[in-house]
Amino acid sequence: MVILNTGHLFRLVEDEAIEVIDLKLCNLFGGYHHISLPAKKLNDDLFKRGIGVDSSSIPGFKTAGVSDMSLLPDPSTSVIDPFGERRTLTLLGSLIDAETGEPFRLDPRYIVQRAENYMIETGIADRSQWGPEFEFYIFEAVHINNRINEAYYNIESAEAGWHNQDFSDDDDSSLIPRKGGYHVTPPRDRYFNLRDRMSAVIEQYGIPVKYHHHEVGGSGQSEIEIELLPALQACDAVMAVKYIAKNLARQAGYSVTFMPKPLYNEAGSGMHFHQHLFNGDTPLFYDGT
């Protein structure tokens, strides 16, 4: 659902019996922070002044001496969050100076907006489209310990031939060899239904999914690819996809990681981007010769 203005948003809150408004912002390391408030606190002033946050507690943003910022929600990013126990509406926001109202220059969403404005103002292109591919591993369990007398990590994958744990439906014929997982089907693709649920929720967020499949890694590696989007929407989608994947995995009793190389000598995970720049209808990367 596309929210055109705050009036539309207020009607949505009433029609959907929303109880919680959850405001999220992105840090410099690609992680979410959030602040939640009762739906009855939703008003026009929230979209003019924002809500105060202490940016000194967010790595890389500001020192404690000059930390007063406001989180200004973007109504166009509104989406019903399926992970709250109560009816929750999520909005993404950008940081502004609490006194001047000026955008915070290190806010990731503002950086993207500045980059796109630069592209247009300098005549490089008048629009861009971006299509990220998400590769990640789904594990049964991950255990990490780093104490004074010991240090280790342990990963379990029911798909892998090397797993150390007994699984109730274990069948050696369905195990996947190292780097042998590309496009395998169930029963070897054990996480198909989980990945499909992820894709369905991503679509509910208004993010168009191109496809999903098992990736090369034979230990639960998956891929979800979305369709092309404008720059800021694509960046927002990256955050949403990671949030959805990790929450659904947790609900199902699994662990998801987007780390580039969680397993030695197994396929790594990347995030390829399809990039298109246009002037009018002319693609800049096209060469007719």
| Residue 4 confidence (pLDDT) above 70 | no
Angle at which helices 231-251 and 192-204 cross, to 10° = 140
pLDDT score of 165 more than 70:
no
Whether the CB-CB separation of 230 and 127 falls below 8 Å is answered with yes
Share of residues in the chain with pLDDT > 90 (%)? 79
pLDDT at residue 49, rounded to an integer: 92
The answer for residues whose C-beta is within 8 angstroms of residue 16's C-beta and 6 or more apart is 80, 87, 89
Q: Which amino acid is at 36?
A: S
Q: Which of 115, 141, 146 shows the shortest CA–CA distance to 130? A: 115
Average pLDDT over every residue of 124-151: 96
All domains in the chain, ordered by first residue: 6-123 (3.10.20.70), 128-282 (3.30.590.10)
Helices 108-121, 231-251: inter-axial angle, 10-degree rounding: 150
Q: Which helix (H) or strand (E) holds 119?
A: helix 108-121
Q: 16 with 80: CB under 8 angstroms?
A: yes
Residue 229, C-beta contacts closer than 8 angstroms, at least 6 positions apart:
129, 130, 131, 207, 208, 237
pLDDT at 81 over 90: yes
Residue 32: pLDDT band (50, 70, 90) is very high
